[in-house]
Structures are given as C-alpha cells and as structure tokens.
Amino acid sequence: MFAGTLASAPGAGHGSSMSVAAKVPAPHAQEEFDEELKIMATLVRHGGHPNIIGVLGCVRTGANKEPPMLVLELCVRGDLKAFLAAAMQSSTTVMPGALLRFGREVAQALHFLEARNILHRDIAARNVLLTEDTTCKLADFGLARNVVKKEYYRLTAASAPIPVRWMAPEVLSHGMCSPAGERWSFGVLLWEIYSLGGQPCVDYHCTHPPPAAPSFLGSNDSCSDTFMAIVLGQHTACPVRQLTAPWTEPPG
C-alpha cells in the first residue's frame, strides 16, 4: 500500500486531482489480491458504506501482464492500532466517547457486510484505517469471502495464513468461518480499542487452541464492567454466540 495522486479524479471536475492510496499484490499473494478485488467490486455494486474503505477504481500500469492496482481513498491518520498505541506512549488522553465511537463504527461496517453475506475474516485494529476526522474505515479484504450460497466458509489446507489471536475456537479447530466467528473477532477488536492498541492473547501459543472464554485476552484495567459484559457476550462458547446488540445500527 502506498500513497499517490489520482489525476482527473471522479466527481472532482476537469483537470483536478486528489490524494489516494494504491494497493498492489504482495509477492506470492496474487490469489489473495484477486479475491480482494472481487469483494471490493461487490461492495461497489452495493453502494459502499461510510465505515468501509472507499474504492475509486482499478487500473493497470505498463503492459497488460502487470497486476492491476487497486485505488482506494486515502486515510491520512493510518491504522487504528498505531493511532491508539501512539496515544498510549505519549500519554495522550483518548476520550471514552471516542473509544465507544470507534467500536460502533466498526460494528456498523460489519453489520453491512453480514447483511450482504460477506465474511471479513481479519477483523483487527490494524485493519481499521482513520480519516482526517478519525472516522473508522474497515479495510484489507484479502481474506474476505462471499458466503451467499451458505452460512459459513471452511478453510482448506491451501488457505492463506490466518490471524490466530483474533480467531474463534471453531475456526482453529474445525476451519469453520461464520458470522458467529466474526463476532468473536469483533470482541477481540473491542479489547484492542480499550487497551489502547494492546496485544491480545500475549500468552497464547499457536500449538494450543485458545479457550472458549475471554480470559485469555489478558488484563485490561481500562475496561469497565459494562464493556467486559459486551466482550463476554461475543465470546460465549460456540455455537451459542447469538448476542447481536453490538451489530445493531444506532437509531436515526
């Protein structure tokens, strides 16, 4: 991912330009990039969402054999994890209302995806970008899959590596990705937000699946009882994870 300038930007008038982000496939990740292009095209057809990274187009440079370049809106404040970690290191106060808003905006993006049968499968603070006014934009759809014909996606031996510390137990034990697993990952994301960019599951070892409870996330003194109740709801043992309140769009 790198920054660039798009000349004659759509809707910006003749001869104008705008700053954008451009994404090309990483080495040995062409298949993952192709899947991301398909998902982003689907999101464009659905009109996009204010809390999902905006797609401006897909272009090729040079010969046709060169991989395409995905052109996205530029989020100048970088990713949410780095933003929160920087606040922690500099002792900058991030107001509780802002933390709540971050979680709500990501939940709204996930609500939009679930309603359209799309699993993101990589929900984490590092994949949430911030605009100039710190609006959250869910990004990085390389692991996303469309499950319109079924309610889950099963991992295979050829599947790309997965972010194990954010994955629900049934994903690690049975390769079963579903909206319930997305809620588990969202619970880990909430923990990241309220720990100001902390690393979840610091004691987790990849050779053992995490327990079906939130205790393995680690201590978080900044989390209120109400917040932990929400995380507990996300981390109820599969397949019961039915708490949907955090996914509901706010009134109005």
Q: What is the separation of C-alpha 51 from the centre of its chain, rounded to a whole number of angstroms?
A: 10
Mean pLDDT of 73-101: 93
Q: Tell me the residue type at 216.
A: F
Catalytic machinery residues? 122
Give yes or no for residue 29 having a pLDDT over 70: yes
Are 74 and 19 a contacting pair, CB within 8 Å? yes
Give residue limits of the domains in the chain.
2-73, 80-247
User: Contact at 8 Å (CB) between 72 and 55?
Assistant: yes
Distance in angstroms (rounded) separating the CA atoms of residues 36 and 51: 17
What are the tens digits of pLDDT across the range 166-206? 877 777 777 777 888 888 889 889 889 988 998 887 666 55
Q: Which CATH class is domain 2-73?
A: alpha beta
pTM of the complete model: 0.78
The secondary structure of 15-38 as a DSSP string is T-EEEEEEE-PPTT-HHHHHHHHH
Higher model confidence: residue 15 or residue 58?
A: 58
Q: Please answer whether residues 147 and 153 qualify as being in contact, where contact means their C-beta atoms are separated by less than 8 angstroms.
A: yes
pLDDT tops 60 at residue 207 = no
pLDDT at 245: 35
What contacts 149, CB < 8 A, 6 or more positions away?
none
Lowest mean pLDDT among 40-44, 85-89, 127-131, 244-248: 244-248
Q: Measuring CA to CA, which residue among 110, 103, 101, 126 is closest to residue 52? A: 110
The pLDDT, as a whole number, for residue 66 is: 72
Contacts of 225 (CB under 8 A, 6+ apart): none
pLDDT at 130 over 90: yes
CATH class of 80-247: mainly alpha
Mean pLDDT of the chain, nearest integer: 77
| Half-sphere exposure (Cβ direction) of 64: Cα atoms closer than 13 Å | 0
